[in-house]
Chain A
């Protein structure tokens, strides 16, 4: 009477089915405003879960998430932008190796291409910077964010400068978002519970000791950074096709900060933390929004985020979902 071992994937598929049934009901029941918030929760969760891989599990404190989201957003927008509107928006037609002037990509390949471009950027920036110890990555990735924002503002032929791109087809719906969230969580979960994940956590806890055990840190750091960037790019693409308009201004430091706060509040290095943090902070944002607009206290939400971050860091640094771990 040996019990058959149930594959963990089984639970994922079951959970996914239940989730999608739930989503179907929610999309029938909720009004458009609440559904909007719900989709935003999903997109933020994708961004936060992917940041968790870099910042939480590998201990690389990247501040460039907004840059990768921007790359994903612009890439997928440019690929999927409808042909008929390209002329009037002065956007370039696709070159021949991307399908020629007659083509506009479908949503899914465009999203993946956005993720791949973000991952490529992460590889280029990560290869030199990740060799260094300390917090160089924080500053370098922040710098990378400024560079990307500068390009988004100045490369007018491609991005229309600070005007941004409007009338992006609204492909994103609740199913796409939560499908991608499921994929992201699954990939991160599989990595974390594998040899790769254990190596990453070993590097986080003590890089020298990990090296002594035969782990080559560069490989794992780069892997986690690139993979994190890929899903950030996908999140960016989903976001672009959800809000239907993107401007360089949106992918600024505050977007990075928001994702970081979601991660810290939820709990770095936990599976459920990022999702909890993202949902909590999006809820908080929309709960405070009427207050901010009514009292004309612009910056109030950001202020609350900052206070929350400080309070969590000082009194519960492991976050809502985290457990206090013994440290050296």
Chain B
């Protein structure tokens, strides 16, 4: 059981799950950095993205590559709508109002899907070229696995470049450091927040597709725990730190998979519990997260 091949295989599974968490955590950390909002609706976008691909590509027959690009646009649009309809109105009020509203939006979207589509899970059948098996000495994998890892790493690099080099990215970092000063410096806060929501939501919708393609099943409530775990990744990595969010995502993904793979089988059922145990451990030992800086309290 504990052969090298088995270990590598599980590490790969962990990395794939980590990629998904990391992409989600990116969007969440940017929004949290600026607005101090734990965006529960982020999880709903995973579900929306997965069902979008399911209907557009599998039911209505659009080519998958095209729909993957479409889902990015769809996610971004949903992010914009959420921000403009709801969150914008609440800015400047108590922070908890944002959190409660996002909780409301999550439940709204989840039950809307449940009502409209079905409470049953759907099979997510990707085309054959994504399911081609490759067997090497140590690893067995499908095209989709390579696709997820490659796309995720590319997107993370692009995101990193965007935040470090582009004007909008710099504005974003400035805003998350201090919103008031950024405003005084002539940064259009609302535009920055819109862009943050659009990018984060587009990534979340894309991960919905990845999740479906990897695990073969989508359901109306798939986004909830995944979304919350992504926020756990943000906290583990360090709130406000973008490399931290990615690191946190990979740590969670690996921990979840390896714990299930190497602990006795009775522990497999505690899979979701493990993630939150890690969260509480991190909050106990290093509340600012692995790569975060200690937040100073301004009066």
Contacting residue for A136 out of B110, B119, B277, B283, CB 8 A: B283
Q: Which residues of chain A are near B103, meaning CB under 8 Å? A: 63, 257, 260, 309
**In the complex, what distance in Å separates the CA atom of A151 from the CA atom of B235?**
24
**In the complex, what distance in Å separates the CA atom of A140 from the CA atom of B277?**
9
Instruction: Kindly identify, within residues 139 to 164 of chain A, every residue whose CB is under 8 Å from any CB belonging to chain B.
Output: 139-140, 142-144, 146-147, 150-151, 153-154
> In the bound complex, do residue B283 and residue A132 qualify as a contact, i.e. CB atoms below 8 Å apart?
yes
Q: Which residues of chain A are near B86, meaning CB under 8 Å? A: 310, 314
Most buried by B among A139, A153, A154, A297: A139
> In the bound complex, do residue B100 and residue A260 qualify as a contact, i.e. CB atoms below 8 Å apart?
yes
Q: Which residues of chain B are near A261, meaning CB under 8 Å? A: 104
B287 on the A face (CB < 8 A): yes
> In the bound complex, do residue A147 and residue B276 qualify as a contact, i.e. CB atoms below 8 Å apart?
yes
> In the bound complex, do residue B97 and residue A313 qualify as a contact, i.e. CB atoms below 8 Å apart?
yes
- Ranked nearest first, the 6 interchain pairs of A and B with the lowest CB-CB distance are A143-B276, A299-B114, A299-B111, A309-B104, A306-B108, A306-B107
> In the bound complex, do residue A139 and residue B101 qualify as a contact, i.e. CB atoms below 8 Å apart?
no
Given known pairs A135-B96, A264-B100, the reply for A314 and B90 (CB within 8 Å) is yes
Question: Is the contact region of chain A dominated by helix, strand, or loop, or is it mixed?
Answer: helix
Instruction: Kindly identify, within residues 240 to 263 of chain B, every residue whose CB is under 8 Å from any CB belonging to chain A.
Output: none
Q: Which residues of chain B are near A209, meaning CB under 8 Å? A: 299
Most buried by A among B90, B101, B104, B284: B104
Q: Which residues of chain A are near B295, meaning CB under 8 Å? A: 133-134
A220 on the B face (CB < 8 A): no
Q: Which residues of chain A are near B97, meaning CB under 8 Å? A: 313, 317
Of B52-60, B200-208, B224-232, the one contacting chain A is B224-232
Chain B interface residues toward A at CB < 8 A: 36, 38, 86, 89-90, 93-97, 99-101, 103-105, 107-108, 110-112, 114-115, 119, 220, 224-225, 228, 231-232, 235, 239, 266, 269-270, 272-273, 275-277, 279-280, 283-284, 287, 295, 297, 299
Contacts A129-B280, A135-B38, A146-B228 supplied; 14 other A-B pairs, CB < 8 Å = A125-B280, A128-B284, A132-B287, A140-B276, A146-B272, A154-B270, A253-B224, A299-B111, A303-B107, A309-B103, A309-B107, A313-B90, A313-B97, A314-B90
**In the complex, what distance in Å separates the CA atom of A113 from the CA atom of B95?**
36
> In the bound complex, do residue B115 and residue A143 qualify as a contact, i.e. CB atoms below 8 Å apart?
no
Q: Which residues of chain B are near A253, meaning CB under 8 Å? A: 224
> In the bound complex, do residue B93 and residue A140 qualify as a contact, i.e. CB atoms below 8 Å apart?
no
A208 on the B face (CB < 8 A): yes
Output the nearest chain B residue to A310 by Cβ-Cβ distance: B104
Contacting residue for B277 out of A134, A142, A147, CB 8 A: A147
CB of B293, distance to nearest CB on chain A (Å): 14
A305 on the B face (CB < 8 A): yes
Q: Which residues of chain B are near A314, meaning CB under 8 Å? A: 86, 89-90, 101
Q: Which residues of chain B are near A143, meaning CB under 8 Å? A: 228, 232, 275-276, 279-280
Q: List 25 A-B contacts (CB under 8 A).
A: A59-B96, A128-B283, A129-B283, A132-B283, A133-B297, A134-B36, A136-B235, A136-B283, A138-B38, A138-B99, A140-B280, A143-B276, A146-B225, A153-B269, A154-B266, A208-B299, A209-B299, A261-B104, A299-B111, A299-B114, A302-B110, A303-B115, A306-B105, A309-B101, A327-B93
